[in-house]
Amino acid sequence: MSSRDDRQAQALAKPAFSEAQACAVVESEFGFQVSEVQPLPSYDDQNFRVRVSRPPDAAGGPTEYVLKISNTESSRNPDLIEVQSHVAVFLHEAGFPTASVCRTRDGGITSLVSVDSGSQTKSHVVRLLTYLPGRPVAEVPVGPRLLYEIGRLAATLDKTLEEFRHPKLRCLRREDFIWNLRNVPLLEKYLSALGPDRNREIVEEVLQLFKDEVTPQLSHFRECINHGDLNDHNILVESSEPAPGDAVFHVSGILDFEDMSYGYYVFEVAIAIMYMMIESRDPMGVGGHVLAGFESVIPLTPAERGALFLLVCGRFCQSLVMAAHSCRLHPENAEYLMITAKTGWKHLQQMFAMGRRAVEDLWFDTARSYASGVPL
């Protein structure tokens, strides 16, 4: 298959349900009468916010949901989607602010629906989740206290998942999954999406350093199940105002378990650091606060700390390169796909300009300052 044909095939993998089709799925598969439906932004799946009507004599329950329609590629692996859904249920029952999964008419947690796309019939796995209130972290001012909370949340989540059991858990060993941090070197085949400029030079340097310094150390890291995408749009917050104009934000929701896979503890904190840098007014200072929260639950080993800088750089590269690649496939979704790129390239360049030692010193000194307690 030519690269052009390959791009066309991948573009066709993203769902393209109309609002009417989304309503029909909710009504036929989950038994709810839809009163309102609204498209939500998404990467390569399709999401709708759905409001349902309940009969006057019906028992109380949620009236707002999110319909998640998986792309055709993901829908070929329903076992993986099933495990991801059960993880969300497990974490919800453990007290984490994750969505509840709505059962289908048949009592399942997913359903496979087929739609006629004109030239062919496509099958998609669909799920209905309760809608979580709150604002994405990307929309609020993020200070040290919230960064610490997010770091602690990331560690607590991974620690809790040590107890998760499922007969199909092996599905999370996604060896060639492009978003697993161990697979940063696989970005080489997507570099054509970048122009011949300084950005590409930095990415190539990161890939080489990653292969030389991180890959040989993987066997020394502690393995776990990672959420894998604790970004500034997948963490929701709500505010409490102890004094007028002095809002204090707390995590109220965790979204999107589609990037889950087996990884390492240090991967989760690196991913959280990178995404919390995106909208920060002090991006280089973010890492120490997130690290302090994470290490209040899971202290990193010297080998894990030694890889942190390159892991954060590696996640920047994954996000920026894959966004450029995806924009070639889905130019109509460029605004959403390029969210990270708006500041991401600048932050990655700044990390390299400061140098590894200076960035690490800043992060580790900040984390060390929490030894006497969390600042108020």
Given a contact cutoff of 8 angstroms between Cβ atoms, the answer to whether 366 and 285 are in contact is yes
Q: In angstroms, what CA-CA distances link 180 with 163, 174, 258, 264?
A: 21, 8, 12, 10
d(CA 31, CA 19): 17
d(CA 345, CA 277): 11
Q: Assign 3-class secondary structure to 278-332.
A: CCCCCHHHHHHHHHHHHHCCCCCCHHHHHHHHHHHHHHHHHHHHHHHHHHHHCHH
d(CA 344, CA 328): 19
Residues 6+ apart with CB under 8 A from 76: none
- 282, burial (CB in 10 Å: exposed 0-12, middle 13-18, buried 19+): exposed
Helix (H) / strand (E) element for 65: namely: strand 64-69
Confirm whether 45 is a catalytic residue. no
Q: In angstroms, what CA-CA distances link 246 with 129, 143, 196, 242, 368?
A: 33, 12, 46, 7, 27
Contacts within 8 Å (CB) and 24+ apart, 276-281:
276/137, 276/142, 276/147, 276/150, 276/232, 277/312, 277/347, 278/138, 278/231, 278/232, 278/339, 278/340, 278/343, 278/344, 278/347, 279/137, 279/138, 279/142, 279/232, 279/343, 280/142
d(CA 25, CA 318): 34
Q: Which one of 45, 229, 256, 259 is the catalytic residue?
A: 229
Q: Which amino acid is at 78?
A: P
Residue position matching structure tokens 């140098």: 355
Provide the residue count of the chain. 376
> Which positions are annotated as active-site residues?
229
